[in-house]
């Protein structure tokens, strides 16, 4: 193979792991980051607020029910928690939009950005789960909270492994 020649990307239909990653990114982009997280930025006090225009009341109520039932730190919203929400909204949201395009079309330039996202996501989730376990706002339903957060551990690990292995993560095997 000549230098500076990149192998062609496999079609998305031949990359089932990427399809799962794209679905995960889409759920994060369209629901978690810009509905659930926006609620937490707009409503600073979950015990005293007026419903905003967005997100819709049903989603605000869902987030508050989940927080009051399983996830007290979500309702308490300490400063470090809000910082993770700002990271999600300002950085992860745009990443998800770009990554959906890049993974769908097999753009190798997303590789390093994906590794950075996975590293930061794993760091944030570790801190959050540590709080849920032994912090000031422990969860009364720890196993349920762990299961609810499992995707934010598993998918970053999958992405990190997937992107780390090759400078051309979307390419098929090259015959020599």
- Domain ranges within the chain, ordered by starting residue: 15-164
**Phi/psi of residue 108, nearest 5 degrees:** -70, -20
pTM of the predicted structure, to 2 decimals: 0.92
Sign of CA dihedral 137, 143, 148, 152: positive
Per-residue confidence in pLDDT tens, the chain, 176 aa: 456 677 889 999 999 999 999 999 999 999 999 999 999 999 999 999 999 999 999 999 999 999 999 999 999 999 999 999 999 999 999 999 999 999 999 999 999 999 999 999 999 999 999 999 999 999 999 999 999 999 999 999 999 999 999 999 999 765 44
d(CA 99, CA 103): 6
- Crossing angle of the two packed helices 110-134 and 93-105, in degrees rounded to 10: 130
Q: Long-range CB contacts (< 8 A, 24+ apart) of 47-52?
A: 47/75
Look at residue 46 in the predicted model and tell me its pLDDT.
Answer: 95
Q: How many CA atoms lie within 13 A of 176 on its CB side?
A: 0
């Amino acid at each position: 193979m000549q230098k500076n020649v990149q192998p062609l990307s496999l079609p998305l239909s031949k990359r089932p792991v990427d399809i799962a990653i794209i679905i995960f990114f889409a759920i994060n982009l369209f629901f978690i980051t810009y509905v659930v997280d926006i609620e937490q930025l707009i409503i600073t006090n979950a015990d005293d607020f007026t419903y905003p225009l967005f997100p819709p009341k049903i989603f605000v109520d869902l987030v508050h029910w989940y927080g009051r039932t399983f996830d007290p730190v979500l309702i308490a919203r300490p400063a470090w928690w809000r910082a993770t929400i700002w990271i999600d909204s300002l950085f992860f949201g745009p990443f998800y939009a770009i990554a959906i395009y890049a993974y769908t079309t097999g753009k190798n330039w997303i590789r390093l950005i994906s590794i950075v996202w996975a590293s930061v996501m794993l760091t944030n989730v570790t801190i959050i789960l540590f709080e849920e376990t032994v912090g000031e706002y422990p969860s009364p339903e720890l196993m349920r909270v762990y299961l609810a957060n499992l995707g934010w551990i598993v998918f970053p690990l999958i992405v990190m492994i997937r992107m780390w292995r090759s400078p051309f993560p979307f390419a098929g095997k090259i015959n020599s």
